[in-house]
Amino acid sequence: MVEQTVQIVSNQRDTDLYFRLVVRAPQIAPLVQPGQFVHLRILPLKHALLRRPFSIFQVSGDTLSILYKSVGQGTEVLSQMPPGDELSMIGPLGHGFTVPAAGGETPLLVAGGYGMAALYLLAQRSPQKGIVFVGGRRRVDILCEEEFRALGWEVRATTEDGSHGEKGLVTHALQTELGRRAPGRKLFACGPTPMLKAVGQLAAEFNLPAELSLDEHMACGIGVCLTCVVPIQTGDGWEYQRTCTEGPVFDSRQVAWEEAK
């Protein structure tokens, strides 16, 4: 884990409220594993000391990028920062995904909205190709479809309003696919909590391994404040673990949703 001041290389709108930010981060970029995140202090945000967590989307040489949605004060200010401006970054943070082994289980990736960002490096570094299920409310919520195809993955898009791909929830498309064939597959998911719960239920129903990247509010991002704890099964019981250090990726069989706050 490194803290460094990074310089913005580009910061451009992708679709609607989604933006891509590329920064030069020579101390952090080479260390990144799929599913890890960075914690950003948005320096022009004068009265907000808290950093914001973002999955590391892509890495190239000494640069890394994030794919973010403008949802509030911090991301709104971030979306207006031009190339050359500086940010304070801590990273890479957290425990990421297990990269599938060559000849092992076929990976099925499941993403909701900006959850795509956490899964791209996994797809890129996996020697085993599979299917990416990407879902969102509308066409504009479907991100980087072509980039996953360019990596050699099959992409299945779903939108709730039917404006792109199949109409419905991404987990329905996953369920249909697992109904056709489930053995020998492993699920990897990142997205909103209801989607993650549904993926976890499907994994249990079809007796498949699954890794889920949880989206919990974070304050310190480095294991100190306990804002981000989630109940995780250990042996006969459960204990709170920190999403920022033990996670954000957990084995779906261990997440004790029924004990959640």
Ligand X SMILES: Cc1cc2nc3c(=O)[nH]c(=O)nc-3n(C[C@H](O)[C@H](O)[C@H](O)COP(=O)(O)OP(=O)(O)OC[C@H]3O[C@@H](n4cnc5c(N)ncnc54)[C@H](O)[C@@H]3O)c2cc1C
What is the contact surface with ligand FES in residues (CB under 6 A)?
A: 218-221, 223-228, 242, 244
34 to 9, 20, 256: CA distances (angstroms)? 22, 18, 24
69 and 113 Cβ atoms separated by less than 8 Å? yes
CB of 70 to ligand X, least distance (A): 7
> SS3 for 11?
strand
Q: Nearest Cα to 172, choosing from 153, 188, 156?
A: 156
CB of 17 to ligand FES, least distance (A): 25
Q: Of these partners, ligand FES, ligand X, none, which one is at the site of residue 225 (CB under 5 to 8 Å by kind)?
A: ligand FES
217 and 228 Cβ atoms separated by less than 8 Å? yes
Smaller CB separation from ligand X, 6 or 67: 67
Q: Whole-angstrom Cα distance, residue 238 to residue 168?
A: 34
CB of 235 to ligand X, least distance (A): 26
Q: Of these partners, ligand FES, ligand X, none, which one is at the site of residue 220 (CB under 5 to 8 Å by kind)?
A: ligand FES
Q: Of these partners, ligand FES, ligand X, none, which one is at the site of residue 223 (CB under 5 to 8 Å by kind)?
A: ligand FES
Q: Of these partners, ligand X, ligand FES, none, which one is at the site of residue 226 (CB under 5 to 8 Å by kind)?
A: ligand FES
Q: Whole-angstrom Cα distance, residue 29 to residue 91?
A: 9
DSSP-derived pairing of the beta strands 106-112 and 237-242: unpaired
Q: Which residues bind ligand X (CB under 6 A)?
A: 37, 52-55, 66-69, 71-75, 114, 117, 215-218, 248
Smaller CB separation from ligand X, 135 or 248: 248
CB of 248 to ligand FES, least distance (A): 10
Smaller CB separation from ligand X, 39 or 186: 39
Token pair listed for 235: 């042996």
Q: Whole-angstrom Cα distance, residue 3 to residue 125?
A: 25
